[in-house]
Amino acid sequence: MNDLTLVIPAKNESESLPKVLEELKEYDLKKIVVVPYDDHDTKNAIKNFDCEILDQKGNGFGSALIEGINIVETKFFCIFNADGSFDPKYLRELKNRVLSGQDFVFCSRYEKEGGSEDDTVITYIGNKFFTGFCNLLFKLNLTDVLFTYVMGSTKAFKNLEMKFSDFSFCVELPIKAKLKNYTLGNLPSFERSRIAGIKKVNEFKDGFLILISILRLITLK
Protein backbone atom coordinates (compact mmCIF):
# COMPACT_ATOMS: atom_id res chain seq x y z
CA MET A 1 0.00 0.00 0.00
CA ASN A 2 2.99 2.30 -0.47
CA ASP A 3 1.09 4.20 -3.17
CA LEU A 4 -1.40 5.41 -0.52
CA THR A 5 -1.22 8.38 1.86
CA LEU A 6 -3.52 8.83 4.83
CA VAL A 7 -4.42 12.46 5.53
CA ILE A 8 -5.28 12.85 9.21
CA PRO A 9 -6.73 16.17 10.45
CA ALA A 10 -5.88 16.49 14.14
CA LYS A 11 -6.98 19.24 16.49
CA ASN A 12 -6.51 18.67 20.23
CA GLU A 13 -6.00 14.93 19.73
CA SER A 14 -2.92 14.37 21.91
CA GLU A 15 -4.63 11.49 23.75
CA SER A 16 -6.16 9.64 20.80
CA LEU A 17 -3.73 10.14 17.95
CA PRO A 18 -0.72 8.21 19.35
CA LYS A 19 -2.96 5.14 19.73
CA VAL A 20 -4.24 5.59 16.17
CA LEU A 21 -0.70 5.84 14.77
CA GLU A 22 0.35 2.81 16.77
CA GLU A 23 -2.50 0.80 15.25
CA LEU A 24 -1.45 1.91 11.76
CA LYS A 25 2.13 0.62 12.10
CA GLU A 26 1.26 -2.68 10.43
CA TYR A 27 0.24 -0.89 7.21
CA ASP A 28 2.85 0.08 4.61
CA LEU A 29 1.59 3.56 3.76
CA LYS A 30 2.43 7.21 4.19
CA LYS A 31 0.77 9.46 6.76
CA ILE A 32 0.30 13.23 6.77
CA VAL A 33 -1.05 14.65 10.02
CA VAL A 34 -2.45 18.17 9.68
CA VAL A 35 -2.30 20.05 12.99
CA PRO A 36 -3.11 23.68 13.89
CA TYR A 37 0.20 25.53 14.18
CA ASP A 38 -0.38 26.30 17.89
CA ASP A 39 -1.51 22.79 18.93
CA HIS A 40 1.81 21.88 20.53
CA ASP A 41 0.36 19.10 22.70
CA THR A 42 -0.75 17.08 19.69
CA LYS A 43 2.51 17.65 17.82
CA ASN A 44 4.61 16.66 20.83
CA ALA A 45 2.52 13.53 21.37
CA ILE A 46 3.32 12.17 17.87
CA LYS A 47 6.85 13.48 17.27
CA ASN A 48 8.39 10.00 17.53
CA PHE A 49 6.01 8.38 15.02
CA ASP A 50 6.74 7.85 11.34
CA CYS A 51 4.49 10.54 9.90
CA GLU A 52 4.75 13.96 8.29
CA ILE A 53 3.38 16.75 10.47
CA LEU A 54 1.92 19.66 8.51
CA ASP A 55 1.17 22.95 10.23
CA GLN A 56 -2.31 24.00 9.15
CA LYS A 57 -2.40 27.50 7.67
CA GLY A 58 -6.16 27.99 7.56
CA ASN A 59 -8.94 27.18 10.00
CA GLY A 60 -11.46 24.37 9.95
CA PHE A 61 -11.86 20.69 9.13
CA GLY A 62 -12.14 21.21 5.39
CA SER A 63 -9.14 23.50 5.31
CA ALA A 64 -7.01 20.86 7.04
CA LEU A 65 -8.00 18.21 4.51
CA ILE A 66 -7.52 20.43 1.48
CA GLU A 67 -4.08 21.52 2.66
CA GLY A 68 -3.12 17.93 3.44
CA ILE A 69 -4.37 16.25 0.27
CA ASN A 70 -2.88 18.97 -1.92
CA ILE A 71 0.63 17.92 -0.86
CA VAL A 72 0.01 14.17 -1.29
CA GLU A 73 2.44 12.70 -3.81
CA THR A 74 1.14 9.11 -3.94
CA LYS A 75 -1.43 7.91 -6.47
CA PHE A 76 -4.14 7.48 -3.84
CA PHE A 77 -5.20 9.29 -0.66
CA CYS A 78 -7.49 8.39 2.21
CA ILE A 79 -9.06 10.66 4.81
CA PHE A 80 -8.56 9.16 8.26
CA ASN A 81 -9.75 10.42 11.65
CA ALA A 82 -7.37 11.11 14.53
CA ASP A 83 -9.83 10.05 17.22
CA GLY A 84 -9.81 6.28 16.71
CA SER A 85 -13.31 6.07 15.21
CA PHE A 86 -12.08 4.79 11.82
CA ASP A 87 -11.07 1.12 11.73
CA PRO A 88 -8.03 0.58 9.49
CA LYS A 89 -9.20 -2.93 8.62
CA TYR A 90 -11.24 -1.34 5.79
CA LEU A 91 -8.19 0.18 4.08
CA ARG A 92 -7.41 -2.85 1.94
CA GLU A 93 -10.97 -3.21 0.65
CA LEU A 94 -11.16 0.53 -0.02
CA LYS A 95 -7.96 0.22 -2.02
CA ASN A 96 -9.34 -2.76 -3.96
CA ARG A 97 -12.46 -0.79 -4.86
CA VAL A 98 -10.40 2.16 -6.11
CA LEU A 99 -8.12 -0.14 -8.10
CA SER A 100 -11.20 -1.75 -9.67
CA GLY A 101 -12.11 1.58 -11.26
CA GLN A 102 -14.04 3.70 -8.75
CA ASP A 103 -12.53 7.17 -8.41
CA PHE A 104 -13.80 7.75 -4.87
CA VAL A 105 -15.10 5.18 -2.36
CA PHE A 106 -17.09 6.33 0.67
CA CYS A 107 -17.39 4.20 3.79
CA SER A 108 -20.98 3.99 4.99
CA ARG A 109 -22.43 3.27 8.40
CA TYR A 110 -25.86 2.73 6.86
CA GLU A 111 -25.08 -0.05 4.43
CA LYS A 112 -25.88 -3.62 5.48
CA GLU A 113 -23.04 -4.80 7.76
CA GLY A 114 -22.27 -1.18 8.66
CA GLY A 115 -23.03 0.55 11.96
CA SER A 116 -21.84 3.02 14.56
CA GLU A 117 -21.04 3.26 18.24
CA ASP A 118 -21.12 7.04 18.01
CA ASP A 119 -24.32 7.91 16.15
CA THR A 120 -27.07 9.74 18.06
CA VAL A 121 -30.69 10.24 17.07
CA ILE A 122 -29.87 13.78 15.93
CA THR A 123 -26.84 12.80 13.85
CA TYR A 124 -28.71 9.83 12.36
CA ILE A 125 -31.63 12.01 11.25
CA GLY A 126 -29.25 14.68 9.96
CA ASN A 127 -27.21 12.18 7.97
CA LYS A 128 -30.30 10.60 6.45
CA PHE A 129 -31.69 14.01 5.49
CA PHE A 130 -28.51 15.35 3.89
CA THR A 131 -27.75 12.07 2.14
CA GLY A 132 -31.25 11.92 0.69
CA PHE A 133 -31.20 15.61 -0.27
CA CYS A 134 -27.84 15.28 -2.05
CA ASN A 135 -28.90 12.09 -3.82
CA LEU A 136 -32.10 13.77 -5.01
CA LEU A 137 -30.34 16.87 -6.32
CA PHE A 138 -27.13 15.36 -7.67
CA LYS A 139 -27.85 11.61 -8.12
CA LEU A 140 -24.86 10.63 -5.97
CA ASN A 141 -26.20 7.18 -5.07
CA LEU A 142 -24.41 7.34 -1.71
CA THR A 143 -25.76 6.08 1.62
CA ASP A 144 -23.74 8.13 4.14
CA VAL A 145 -22.70 11.44 2.65
CA LEU A 146 -21.40 12.99 5.89
CA PHE A 147 -19.03 10.17 6.84
CA THR A 148 -15.56 11.22 5.74
CA TYR A 149 -13.81 7.85 5.69
CA VAL A 150 -13.06 8.25 1.99
CA MET A 151 -10.38 6.94 -0.35
CA GLY A 152 -9.77 8.11 -3.87
CA SER A 153 -7.53 9.18 -6.69
CA THR A 154 -5.22 12.01 -5.68
CA LYS A 155 -5.20 13.36 -9.22
CA ALA A 156 -9.00 13.40 -9.33
CA PHE A 157 -9.23 15.17 -5.97
CA LYS A 158 -6.83 17.91 -7.04
CA ASN A 159 -9.00 18.44 -10.12
CA LEU A 160 -12.05 19.24 -7.96
CA GLU A 161 -10.79 22.66 -6.80
CA MET A 162 -12.19 22.21 -3.31
CA LYS A 163 -13.01 25.43 -1.44
CA PHE A 164 -15.06 24.80 1.72
CA SER A 165 -12.99 25.13 4.88
CA ASP A 166 -15.56 23.82 7.38
CA PHE A 167 -17.51 20.56 7.69
CA SER A 168 -19.27 21.39 4.41
CA PHE A 169 -16.25 19.69 2.85
CA CYS A 170 -18.21 16.48 3.48
CA VAL A 171 -20.80 17.32 0.81
CA GLU A 172 -18.55 19.38 -1.45
CA LEU A 173 -16.33 16.39 -2.21
CA PRO A 174 -18.95 13.94 -3.55
CA ILE A 175 -21.00 16.65 -5.26
CA LYS A 176 -18.06 18.14 -7.17
CA ALA A 177 -16.79 14.64 -7.99
CA LYS A 178 -20.18 13.70 -9.44
CA LEU A 179 -20.45 16.94 -11.41
CA LYS A 180 -17.06 16.16 -12.99
CA ASN A 181 -18.29 12.65 -13.88
CA TYR A 182 -16.05 10.77 -11.49
CA THR A 183 -17.37 7.43 -10.23
CA LEU A 184 -18.47 7.06 -6.59
CA GLY A 185 -18.91 3.90 -4.53
CA ASN A 186 -20.12 2.80 -1.08
CA LEU A 187 -18.36 0.42 1.31
CA PRO A 188 -20.11 -0.85 4.47
CA SER A 189 -18.12 0.05 7.58
CA PHE A 190 -18.48 0.30 11.32
CA GLU A 191 -17.70 3.51 13.19
CA ARG A 192 -16.04 2.99 16.55
CA SER A 193 -16.31 5.29 19.56
CA ARG A 194 -13.62 7.94 19.81
CA ILE A 195 -10.75 7.03 22.11
CA ALA A 196 -10.66 10.30 24.04
CA GLY A 197 -11.55 13.97 23.82
CA ILE A 198 -14.74 15.55 22.51
CA LYS A 199 -16.44 15.71 19.12
CA LYS A 200 -15.62 18.78 17.05
CA VAL A 201 -19.00 18.81 15.27
CA ASN A 202 -21.83 21.07 16.40
CA GLU A 203 -24.88 19.30 14.96
CA PHE A 204 -27.08 22.37 14.52
CA LYS A 205 -24.48 24.98 13.54
CA ASP A 206 -22.63 22.69 11.17
CA GLY A 207 -25.88 21.27 9.83
CA PHE A 208 -27.01 24.78 8.87
CA LEU A 209 -23.66 25.50 7.17
CA ILE A 210 -23.88 22.23 5.25
CA LEU A 211 -27.40 23.06 4.04
CA ILE A 212 -26.27 26.48 2.80
CA SER A 213 -23.29 24.87 1.08
CA ILE A 214 -25.49 22.37 -0.76
CA LEU A 215 -27.66 25.21 -2.03
CA ARG A 216 -24.54 27.05 -3.21
CA LEU A 217 -23.32 23.95 -5.04
CA ILE A 218 -26.60 23.74 -6.99
CA THR A 219 -25.36 26.72 -9.01
CA LEU A 220 -22.55 24.54 -10.40
CA LYS A 221 -24.99 22.15 -12.12
Position 196 scores a pLDDT of 87
Q: How many domains does the chain have?
A: 1
Beta bridge partners of 9: 34
- Of 5-9, 16-20, 131-135, 197-201, least confident by mean pLDDT is 197-201
Between CA 146 and CA 181 the distance in angstroms is: 20
The predicted pLDDT at position 197 comes to: 78
Euclidean distance between CA atoms 221 and 218, whole angstroms: 6
pLDDT tens-digit profile of 18-57? 999 999 999 999 999 999 999 999 999 999 999 999 999 9
Give, to the nearest 10 degrees, the angle between helix 169-179 and helix 121-138.
Answer: 20
CATH classification at residue 40: 3.90.550.10
Supply φ then ψ for residue 121, to 5 degrees.
Answer: -60, -40
DSSP state at residue 64: H
Q: Which amino acid is at 195?
A: I
Q: Which band of pLDDT confidence, cut at 50, 70 and 90, is reported for residue 147?
A: very high
Which tens digit of pLDDT belongs to each residue from 47-89? Answer: 999 999 999 999 999 999 999 999 999 999 999 999 999 999 9
Looking at residue 200, its pLDDT comes to: 75
Residue ranges making up the domain that contains 82:
4-220
Whole-structure pTM value? 0.95
Per-residue pLDDT band for 134 (boundaries 50, 70, 90) equals very high
What is the rounded average pLDDT of the residues 189-194? 96
Average pLDDT for 113-118: 94
> In whole numbers, what is the pLDDT of the chain averaged over residues?
96
Question: The dihedral of CA 84, 32, 183, 174: what is its sign?
Answer: positive
